[in-house]
Structure 1
Amino acid sequence: MDSDESDFYGDDEMVGDLESRVTAFDISQWWEETNAASVGRKVKKEPLDSTKLHNPYAGVPYAWQLTETVNDFLDRLPPETTEHSEHLPWIFICNPYIHRQEKFNSQNQRSRGNEDEAPEEEGSRLDTLVEGGTERLEILLNYKQGVENTKKTKAWMLFYQPKDVNEVWNIIARATANNELGIAAKVAPWNPYTDPTGRKDRIICVYTANFSDMTDVTRVLRRLRELKLVELMGRPIYYKPDAFTYLGIAHGNHWGMKASIYSSKDVLS
């Protein structure tokens, strides 16, 4: 290293020390230490037997942790009154019986605004979907093939009034933790900036592993119905591909595409 570089980067000993610190940096620990204090109450550290359980959102303060009971999680982050913020975009729970990629190592962490979609399956190619899918949206056949070969997760979307959201979320969170629904679920916290009166409906997403597995998709919907959550809405619920979210296909998009694939009426008819 010449003198100019040494002045800028430091000597060899300093560079070596910094490189070793970067290598040893634990982003999960940093996230918890930096942000947990701003996300409701801190997670209670109660050791559980988690040798056979998985949590892609381990260390994320706005998600359920295997070190706390579901009841403690629900008390810590009630969606009706928990405020949305930069550090609390969603309230999340993962099915601990299904293994998925850790959040901090997932490709969606590089997709701004989509960091909290369904936990990714090992080997999924989100980059291929976004790059190739965006270029080929006008060629629907190629697009469909690209989606089927990459991001297969989708979610049943449910909307509830604020007065009902805590009760409904409690049911869905417990069912997810008990392996009765899909791979994960999330609920929108209260956003005082877009909803100062707190009267807007809240969205809850219940994720399934594979949209092409209609047996599983239907099973999750039937379980939601058994839990009396479909009828409670008084209207159909809809099933939206994660791929649509990553590609920005929302209601009223300029491609003229529906923002969902089908509704509960389609599946149960």
Structure 2
Amino acid sequence: MRNQLAEARRERRPLGAFTCYTLDTAAGVLDAAESAGAPVVLLVSDAALRAPAGPRLLTALVAMAQRAAVPAWVQLDHCPDLERIRQALDLGAGGVMADGSRLDDAANLEFTREAVALATPYGAAVEAELGRIEGDEDIDVAAAAGAFTDPAAAEDFVRRTGVDCLAVAIGNVHGSYRHEPRLDWQRLADIADRLPVAVSLHGTSGLPADQLRRAHELGAVKFNVNTELRRAHVGELRRALDEAPASTDVLALTERLRATAAETTGRFLRP
């Protein structure tokens, strides 16, 4: 994943990252990636890893990624805990996001450096966040933009931590946008020009396609998608149960959920 992030930045090639709470979703994401011939990242939220079956989920996703017909990796997303980062690395994650964005700048810097030191022996990629991307990655809530990323501070942060990717705050949020998205395009361009590593944009589910294209043109290469997949998954589940409330055909249901995930993912992988 480290090499993929470097290549994505160098070649200005987008890399989609999709949160998978179930194996049905992961199968659909990989179906879409294989159909598009695109590399892909399967994201595991920190809340999902903390759940009782979290380690099993991550282990299963690693196995699926390894068997995919396209380059694929598993990344632990938005984790503020070094022990869970270590756990994810032990289970085979190819990348981790060390999220110290709730800390002050000095503490975030130190936390991220420790995460890089942990990941280095595994050859795993480390993503960090500077600024504050508001909202909840696991629950669809309306949010307003948080503190924006300063380009000069971002350059210094990357140099001092050695991360492979930086998630930036330019007006993007997790979940739903409380107001019409207004991204700071000049800030994104300045950050991408300064940084020697990949720039990641979170909260892309709520952004129109033209804004995603512009973000890519200005230098963002990793795009995280969560809310759109969850909405599609739950919506399809409700439709299936409404159509056949007495059915116990689990295989048919899981195939519908897999197809829905593939269709949703495919919209983000198309040029």
TM over 0.5: no
Higher helix fraction: Structure 1 or Structure 2?
2
Which protein has greater RCO, CA pairs closer than 8 Å, 6+ apart? 2
Structure whose alpha-carbon radius of gyration is higher: 1
The two structures have a TM-score, normalised by structure 1, of 0.27
